[in-house]
Structure 1
């Protein structure tokens, strides 16, 4: 864990981790359909510099969330306080980007995890004994691929225990209602109604299963096999994309775009991942396929940032993706 001395140090460290995770996600290259150092992906209004600017601007927001949660326990009052800070963070983000939504989904996911990490840093996690998240919904169960017994999800289960506690705390917070939430009709809400997708709230309330069961274990597994940090992070993204019912894809291209992304990511994984020639070529083909549909897996990108945030907390690699290449 962080082993920090006080609330000030906790909020400063966690907010730095959150902001860095957003920048690392944005700079990871190449990412199919997403903004990276080489391309704007399927986006007409985004670029990597805008993503960096947004990430830096949001660091004080994450600091406020950590401060609000430090010494607390999950409650409706904390949920509503974090939501108010998050809404203010959205305003700051839009001011920094000239009105472009760069990180609304990430504010939700990383905000919850930042608050949960602050609670875990100084609190007694005994309250989690009574917390049982809802059953996994179709977005995770219907991934279409059985988990093999030698999967990194099993071989690295012990190493994700600390992040799992943080994710469970975040889930406990997310399950509380926000009585002051303004009436809205976001893209995610539209897709949830149309397709019955769990969305970002469902993922959080379930304790971030794609992060803990797919993304983080895949990252650790790739590193244990000596792969570059770039390939480890790309493989993490592919494992989550292969199962996630990504509402960004559903909004942009419906079920067909979601199928394209899932099947393409599974193909990368089945060929051995991005560290081998065939897997890398499959990654490039997936990028072409998603660009042809003007589809971007933004939900998967948000969860990759969550993976990188939790990885920093547990003492994972600090290596920038720009410092290591394919293979």
Structure 2
């Protein structure tokens, strides 16, 4: 176990963990082009929100990520984390006039912040392997039970109807797309010399290629999800963001996503989580 918990970086504080979550969500928002997603300069496939909506949401959630990190450090049960997340969602909706900007991120990044602070409270340093182990050890059973509850949210209902892996199921499995695809893809892109923005864009497409994104399933059904996954694979096979026409290809794909009203919100949340990991681990 000591080998799992070893790292070169010092253990971060709850304030650092929470701040990294807010900054990671801004990393995701600032990335452009992103097919179907809100950026600082366009609405993507969303008529009801823009960058200002997302910034109001981010400001409303800043204290949440620190608070849930504190709960993780204190060894709080899952029920306490869930109540904290529900309260954060209410603050988000109040700040955005009822628009869901970050519900998925509240769930995913909240759990990750709690797991990271649980590690730090024990004096351990943060690594992806240790973080995933802690999540499963502390709250895995509760997350498995939660994943078995019927969802009342559009994405969760679409995932159930189509036989896809829901966001709750991803959490119960220890976020495999984050730890097995997104985080390695982001580090590999940076290691081969890509700048931060194109590295994040390639990571987004790597996530889209494999994730059962319930946002895509809700908006476009299985056809929309399959289209997005195939398009992401084709983008990466053609060289991705690092090739001479990579950004043009991403913009063209974005126009097609808007035409189809597709938005890979689950992939966006997973990208933000990978950016958070990179800031801390």
Structure 2 length normalisation: TM-score?
0.89
The number of aligned residues is 269
User: Which digits, 9 at most, give the CA deviation of each residue in 1:76-97, with x for residues without a partner?
Assistant: x611100000000000101111
Larger fraction in helix: 2
SS of the aligned residue for 1:193 comes to helix
Query: How does 1:129-144 map onto structure 2 within 5 Å?
Result: none
Return the match for 2:133 from 155, 168, 171. Answer: 168
Structure 1 equivalent of residue 122 of structure 2: 123
C-alpha distance in 1 between matches for 2:104 and 2:48: 17
SS of the aligned residue for 2:177 comes to helix
Structure 2 equivalent of residue 3 of structure 1: 10
Structure 1 equivalent of residue 67 of structure 2: 64
Structure 1 equivalent of residue 208 of structure 2: 241
SS of the aligned residue for 1:232 comes to helix
C-alpha distance in 2 between matches for 1:299 and 1:282: 21
Structure 1 equivalent of residue 28 of structure 2: 25
Query: How does 1:1-327 map onto structure 2 within 5 Å?
Result: 3-4=10-11, 10-72=13-75, 78-123=77-122, 162-172=127-137, 173-176=139-142, 185-314=152-281
Structure 2 gap segments, 5+ residues each: 1-6
Structure 1 length normalisation: TM-score?
0.77
User: Which digits, 9 at most, give the CA deviation of each residue in 1:31-61, with x for residues without a partner?
Assistant: 0000012210000111112112211211111
C-alpha distance in 1 between matches for 2:188 and 2:136: 25
Alignment check: 8 A CA contact 2:178 2:274 kept: yes
C-alpha distance in 2 between matches for 1:49 and 1:190: 29
Runs of 4+ in 1 over 6 A off after TM superposition: none
Alignment check: 8 A CA contact 1:174 1:205 kept: yes
Alignment check: 8 A CA contact 2:160 2:166 kept: no
Alignment check: 8 A CA contact 2:257 2:263 kept: yes
